[in-house]
Chains A and B, each alone.
Chain A
Amino acid sequence: MNDGQEHESERDLTFFGVITTSMTHELANVILIIEQIGGLLEDLLEKHRAGQPVSCERLSVIEDRLSRQTRRASTLIRNLNRFAHGIDQRILEFDLNSLVRELLGVSSRFADSRGVKVESLYSREEIRMRSDPFALQQAVFAGLRRAFSICGPGNSVQVAVGRDRSGPMVTIQGPRGVESSTSTAQMDLLQPLMTKLGGAVSTKRKGTDEILILHVGAGEPTGKSSPAVKR
C-alpha cells in the first residue's frame, strides 16, 4: 500500500468511525428513554398495587412513547446496517437521490447537535450514475460539515440534488459566515475526494448565502472498478 492509498484508507476509516459513533450514540439515547419508560411503568404498577387508580389514557400515552422510540431505534439500525454495507463494493451503479437521502439519514444527528436544520430537495427523476458511493458520501458529508460550521446554530442549510450541463451535482446552500479551522479542514478534505470521483468543487455567492457546488462526476472514478450493482 503506497502513501496515497494509506491516506485514503485512513480517511475512509475516519468517516466510517464518525458516522457509526454518532449513530450508536443516538441508539444509546433511545435505549435510555426506553429504560426510563420502563421505570415509569414500574412506578405506575407500584401505584396500582398500592390501590391507587392508573388511567388507561396515561398507559396509552406511555405506549405511544414506547412505540415511537422503538420505531426510531428500528430506523437507526436499518440506516446503520445499510451504511455499513456501503463498503462491500466500492464501485456501483446507484441513484444519486437515494445516496444523498441515505447520507442525510445517517448524519442527521450532526445537524441536530449543531442546531442546524437541513432541508432537502431531490430531482424528480432518478440520477443514475456509476461511481464510488462511499467516497461520494464522504464528499457530501464534508460539504455539510463545512456548511454547519459556517452558518452556525439556528440556521437552515438546503441540500439539493440535480443535474446541469456539467452533469450530476449536489449543492449545499447556507448563510455565509466566518470560515473556521473546521470549515477549512472540510474543504481540504473535499478537494482530493472530488478529484478521485472525477468531479469538481466550487462555491458561489447568492445574496447572503454561500452555495457549495459538488459536480460529482458522471463517469467512473479513478481506481479499481468492479461489476455494476444496482442499489
Chain B
Amino acid sequence: MESIKVLLIDDEEEFISTLLERLEFRGIAAKAFTTGAEALDHLKREHFDAVVADLKMPGIDGMEIKRTVEREYPDTKVLLVTGHGGRESGDEEAEFDILMKPFGIEALLEWIRGAVGNP
C-alpha cells in the first residue's frame, strides 16, 4: 500500500527535520522545506496528500501557501501550525485547520489520518 505523503514547511530547520524523522518512523513519507517558495516550487513536481505549514514565516507565509495549494492542488489538504496564540485579526472569517504549537506527534497524526485517511 502506498504511504501518505506529507510536505512540511517551517523556517525552524531543526524542528521540521526532527518532525520528518518522526513521521517516517510512523510510515509517512515526508519532505521538508524551510521556505514557502521552495516548497511551492517542489509541489509543481511532486504530489503530496497533505501540507503542514507554519503560519508565520518570512516571505511566503502559511496563509499564502494555503491559498496557493487550495487553488492549484485542490486534492492536497493543508494544516497550519502556529505558536503565536491563534488566529489574528483578519483571519476570523477564514476557515482553516490549525494546530497550536507545542503539539504532540499524535495530534498531528490524528489530523493527517482525519484529512487523508489511514496509511
Which residues on A are within 8 Å of B, measured CB to CB? 25, 28-29, 31-33, 35-37, 39-40, 43, 47, 65, 68-69, 112-115, 153-154
**For chain A, what secondary structure do more than half of its interface residues adopt (helix, strand, loop), or is it mixed?**
helix
Interface size bracket, B side? 10 to 19
Instruction: Chain A residues near B104: list those with CB within 8 A.
Output: 39
Q: How many A-B residue pairs have CB under 8 A?
A: 52
Pairwise interchain contact A25-B14, C-beta atoms closer than 8 A: no
Complex Cα–Cα for A31 and B18 (A): 13
Pick from B15, B58, B105: contact of A29, CB below 8 A. Answer: B15
Complex Cα–Cα for A153 and B36 (A): 13
Instruction: Chain A residues near B59: list those with CB within 8 A.
Output: 115, 153-154
Pairwise interchain contact A40-B101, C-beta atoms closer than 8 A: no
* Complex A-B, nearest 5 residue pairs according to Cβ-Cβ distance, in ascending order: A115-B58, A36-B18, A33-B15, A43-B25, A32-B102
Pick from B18, B25, B101, B102: contact of A65, CB below 8 A. Answer: B18
Instruction: Chain B residues near A113: list those with CB within 8 A.
Output: 56-58
Pairwise interchain contact A39-B105, C-beta atoms closer than 8 A: yes
Pairwise interchain contact A40-B102, C-beta atoms closer than 8 A: no
Complex Cα–Cα for A32 and B18 (A): 11
Smallest Cβ-Cβ distance to B15: which chain A residue: A33
Which residues on B are within 8 Å of A, measured CB to CB? 11-12, 14-15, 18-19, 21-22, 25, 56-59, 83-84, 101-102, 104-105
Complex Cα–Cα for A68 and B101 (A): 20
Pairwise interchain contact B83-A28, C-beta atoms closer than 8 A: yes
Pairwise interchain contact B58-A112, C-beta atoms closer than 8 A: yes
Give 19 new A-B contacts, CB below 8 A, not counting A29-B101, A32-B15.
A25-B83, A28-B102, A29-B12, A32-B12, A32-B102, A33-B14, A33-B18, A36-B19, A37-B18, A39-B22, A40-B18, A43-B22, A65-B18, A112-B58, A113-B57, A113-B58, A114-B58, A153-B58, A153-B59
Instruction: Chain A residues near B102: list those with CB within 8 A.
Output: 28, 31-32, 35
Instruction: Chain A residues near B19: list those with CB within 8 A.
Output: 36
Complex Cα–Cα for A153 and B12 (A): 17
Instruction: Chain B residues near A35: list those with CB within 8 A.
Output: 102
Instruction: Chain A residues near B22: list those with CB within 8 A.
Output: 36, 39-40, 43
Of the A-B pairs whose beta carbons lie under 8 Å apart in the complex, a sample of 23, sorted by A's number, is A25-B84, A29-B83, A29-B101, A32-B12, A32-B83, A32-B101, A32-B102, A33-B15, A35-B102, A36-B15, A36-B18, A39-B18, A39-B104, A40-B18, A43-B21, A65-B18, A112-B58, A113-B58, A115-B58, A115-B59, A153-B58, A153-B59, A154-B59
